[in-house]
Structure 1
C-alpha cells in the first residue's frame, strides 16, 4: 500500500474523529449525554500483514461513565444514580436515555423533555391532573397511591449502544442484563454530560495537526510522482 493511500485513509479517519468531537462539544450541556470515543484499527489488523504506522478504519464507541449530578430542586427533574437507562418510546421504536427532564403531555402520559413517552414496567405511565412524585425505586406516586413505575434497563455492554441524537440511544449490539446492579432515581437532580470541554478541545487540536501533516505527506508524494514522470519523459 503506497503512502498516498495511507495518507488518504488517515485523513478520512481524522474527519470522522472531528465529527465525533464536534458532536461531543455540541452536547456538553445536554443532561445525561454520553460522549463518543473515536477508535481506529491498524492496517495490520485488516490486512493480516506486518504492522503499519497508520490507521485503516475508524468508528466510535460510547463512554458510558456517569456524569456528575446537579441539584435543581425541581421535582420534574430526575437522574439515575448507578447503572441503568430510562426506556423511551419513539417513532423509530424503543430507545434509551439518561436524560431525566419530565413533562406530562395532553394525554396525561409521562414524557421526557422532548415529549416522548417514558416506558414503565406496565407500559406507558398515564397520570391524572395534579402533582406527582418519583421515588428512589422509580415508583410514581400520585394522590397517595402508586400509579406506575419507571423501567430502568441495564446492559452488559452499554458501550455498544448507538447514538440516535437528542440524547437517545438505540440498543445496537448491547445486550440487556439481569437487573442485579444498584440503580436508584434521584428526584430534583439532573445528570450532567460526561463531556469535558478542555479535553475535547485538546483532541480537536491534535486531530487538526495530524490532518495537516497527512496533507503534507500526500502533497510530498504527489510532487515525487510528478518529478518521476517528468524524468521518465526525458528518455
Structure 2
C-alpha cells in the first residue's frame, strides 16, 4: 500500500518506520522539509519527501501533526482524491500542546472538528497509545496480551483499511464506532494510553465521561510531577490507569 505520513515527530516517525517494515511503500513529509526527517525513521525503508509531492498518488495519508493545524493543509488536500484514506492521530491538550479551541471547548468532538478544518473525512487511529508503546510493544497477531488500539470513523471501507494498518504495526485494531464517538479514545479517558487488550478495551471506551476525562487530561502536568525523576513507560501507563480507578 502507498502511504504518506505527514509529521516526522515521535508518533509519525514510529508509524513510518513500522509501516515500512511491514512492507508498505512509505513516504514521510514534514512542513520543515525533507531534511527534518530523522535518519532512524528511514532505516526501515521509508523515504523523506517534499510535502506537496508526498500527497500525490497515495492510498493512505496519516496525519501526525499537532492538533489545531489541519486547516493549514486544507489547500494541499483539496486535490487529494476522495478515495484516499486520511487517518488523524492527533490529541487535544489545551494549554499544554495547543491553545484552547472554542468549538472543541464547547463540545465539538476533536476529530470531527479536525475533519472540518481539513475539508474531508478522517479516520481516528493510533492516538490512544503512547509513543513508547507504539515503538516497543507491537507484537504479531495472536500473541497473548496484545495491546488493542481503537479506530473510529464513518466510512466502513476506510476504517477497514486503517484497522489493517493498525494490525501491521503490531496491535489489535478495535472498531470504536463513528467519528462522533471518537471522544471516547481522546485524552484522558479510560481507554487512552492505558495499554488494554482487545477484551478490555470495549468496557474502557464505554466508561468514558467527557467532563471527568477532560479534568484528568488537564491534571497531567501535576500527576507527571509525582513520578520518579527517571520515570518509565510503565510508570506513565500506571498513572493513566490509576486516574480511573
- Shorter-chain TM-score range: under 0.3
More helix by share: 2
Q: Tell me the TM-score normalised to structure 2 length.
A: 0.21
Determine which structure has the larger strand proportion and give its number: 1
Between 1 and 2, higher relative CO (CA 8 Å, sep ≥ 6) is seen in 1
TM-score, with structure 1 as normaliser: 0.22
